[in-house]
């Protein structure tokens, strides 16, 4: 097991180096001149040059690259020009916000989608199968920001059930001391139940938005994979041997149908992080996606590079976790690893 993890991490190194090079070149190829942007509207040509020098942008590209990689090796992601803060610190404070939201969205989605998919597969053509089809089609065809705005409109603006879409906490609560960065956990650790309540109620709408969007692939994949497994011979054997339907479906069929679902989950997780950008905008969520987009708009290199790199590392880790999960679910995979 450990050798497998080690091996996998080794394989990740070349791709990380590639990511570093590509993001560096891509951000440099962006249109827009950060020096002119930060010199302000009234700047003279000399002032722009002065700022370019200050930012080190007058050096040859290759020198800039070596300086950048050297800083990276020392754990320094550089400083954002728009927010004025070190990138590493900002990512550290914003990543948990995004991760908490994405994970909760994913959990809600799994809790609904998997049973829905399984039920649809066991009763193809029934009303539950149609329900599954309708929900998933609707969910995937609505753009996330639209779902988000509609939810805000009804649950906040019309009905007043949900709190104001103002980020992670009601403005009048202060954030709990950081332990994990996840407010739901940190507030409980701090025994601040009022804040927990606020954090949870702030999470409901954005997490639902993400869940609606991600229902479709999970439910469809569960259904398809279950259908294939239910038609296979070992299930027929199990049924013929007189095992109860629950045992057949849950113990035998479902476990075998899990592999493609897990793969889909990792994909869904990655595109949820992307979809997050829009949800974060709608709910004023201080997450990592909106941070990266704002940086991109103002040609602010350091946060963009930091963001892409963080995401790359996360994908590598995520894939590793998925591979380990494969091994847990299907012993055959473990042997090959």
Partner 1 sequence: MKRRDFLKSVSGLAAGAALPAMPQVISSAYADVRSETLLIVSEGGPNNLDIHGVGTNVPGYEVSWNCYDRLISHEMKVGPGGVPYYDRDKFKGELAEEFKIDDMSVTFKLKKNAKFHDGAPVTAKDVKWSLDRAVSVGGFPTFQMSAGSLTKPEQFVVIDDYTVRVDFLKKDRLTIPDLAVIVPCIVNSELVKKNSSEKDPWGLEFTKQQTAGSGAYRVTKWTAGTEVIMERNEDWIGGPLPKIKRVIWRMVPQAGNRRALLERGDADISYELPNKDFQEMKASGKLNVVSLPFSNGIQYIGMNVTKPPFDNPKVRQAVAYALPYQKIMDAVMFGLANPMFGAPKDKPTEVAWPQPHKYNTDMEKAKALMAEAGLANGFETTISFDLNFAGVNEPLCVLVQESLAQIGIKTTINKVPGANWRTELNKKEMPLFTNVFSGWLDYPEYFFYWCYHGNNSVFNTMSYKSAEMDKLIDGARVAAATGDMATYDTDVKGFVDLAYTDIPRIPLYQPFVNVAMQKNISGYQYWFHRRLDYRAMAKG
Q: Are 307 and 288 in contact (CB under 8 A)?
A: yes
Q: At what angle do helices 144-151 and 255-282 cross, to 10 degrees?
A: 70
- Output the smallest distance, CB 31 to partner 1, in A: 6
- Bridge partners for 79 per DSSP: 86
CB nearer partner 1, residue 203 or residue 265: 203
* 222: its two tokens: 């569960």
Torsion sign, CA atoms 146, 150, 155, 158: positive
Which residues bind to partner 1, rule: CB under 8 A?
31-34, 36-45, 47-48, 50-51, 54, 80-85, 90, 93, 149, 152-153, 156-157, 159-167, 171-172, 193-194, 196-198, 200-201, 204, 281-284, 286, 290-291, 294, 297-299
* Dihedral pair phi/psi, residue 79, rounded to 5°: -120, 145
CA distance 87 to 279: 22
CB nearer partner 1, residue 272 or residue 288: 288
CA distance 271 to 294: 19
- Output the smallest distance, CB 304 to partner 1, in A: 12
CB nearer partner 1, residue 173 or residue 254: 173
- Bridge partners for 86 per DSSP: 79
CB nearer partner 1, residue 263 or residue 298: 298
- Output the smallest distance, CB 200 to partner 1, in A: 5
CB nearer partner 1, residue 15 or residue 85: 85
- Output the smallest distance, CB 153 to partner 1, in A: 7
- Output the smallest distance, CB 203 to partner 1, in A: 10
* Dihedral pair phi/psi, residue 125, rounded to 5°: 90, -10
Q: Are 266 and 110 in contact (CB under 8 A)?
A: no
- Output the smallest distance, CB 27 to partner 1, in A: 12
CB nearer partner 1, residue 139 or residue 148: 148
């Amino acid at each position: 097991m450990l050798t497998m993890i080690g091996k996998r991490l080794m394989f990740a190194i070349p791709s990380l180096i590639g990511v570093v090079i590509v993001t560096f070149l891509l951000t440099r190829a962006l249109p827009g001149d950060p020096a002119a942007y930060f010199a302000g509207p009234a700047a003279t040509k000399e002032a722009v040059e002065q700022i370019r020098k200050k930012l080190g942008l007058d050096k040859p590209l290759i020198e800039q690259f070596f300086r950048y990689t050297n800083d990276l090796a020392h754990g320094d992601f550089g400083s954002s020009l728009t927010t004025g803060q070190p990138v590493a610190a900002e990512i550290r404070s914003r990543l948990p916000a995004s991760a908490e939201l994405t994970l909760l969205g994913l959990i809600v989605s799994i809790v609904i989608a998997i049973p829905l998919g399984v039920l649809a597969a066991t009763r193809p053509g029934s009303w539950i199968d149609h329900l599954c089809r309708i929900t998933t089609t609707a969910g995937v065809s609505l753009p996330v920001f639209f779902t988000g705005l509609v939810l805000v409109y009804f649950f906040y603006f019309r009905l007043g059930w949900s709190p104001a879409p103002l980020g992670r906490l009601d403005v009048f609560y202060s954030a709990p001391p950081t332990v994990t960065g996840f407010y739901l956990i940190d507030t409980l650790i701090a025994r601040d139940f009022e804040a927990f309540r606020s954090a949870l109620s702030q999470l409901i709408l954005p997490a639902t938005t993400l869940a609606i969007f991600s229902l479709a692939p999970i439910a469809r994949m569960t259904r398809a994979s279950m259908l294939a497994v239910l038609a296979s011979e070992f299930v027929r054997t199990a049924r013929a041997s007189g095992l109860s339907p629950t045992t057949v479906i849950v113990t035998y069929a479902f476990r075998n149908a899990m592999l493609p679902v897990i793969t889909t989950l990792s994909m869904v997780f990655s595109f949820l992080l992307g979809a997050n950008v829009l949800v974060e905008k709608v709910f004023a969520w201080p997450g990592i996606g909106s941070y990266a987009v704002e940086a991109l708009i103002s040609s602010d290199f350091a946060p963009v590079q930091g963001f892409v790199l963080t995401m790359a590392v996360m994908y590598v880790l995520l894939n590793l976790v998925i591979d380990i999960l494969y091994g847990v679910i299907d012993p055959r995979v473990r042997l090959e690893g």
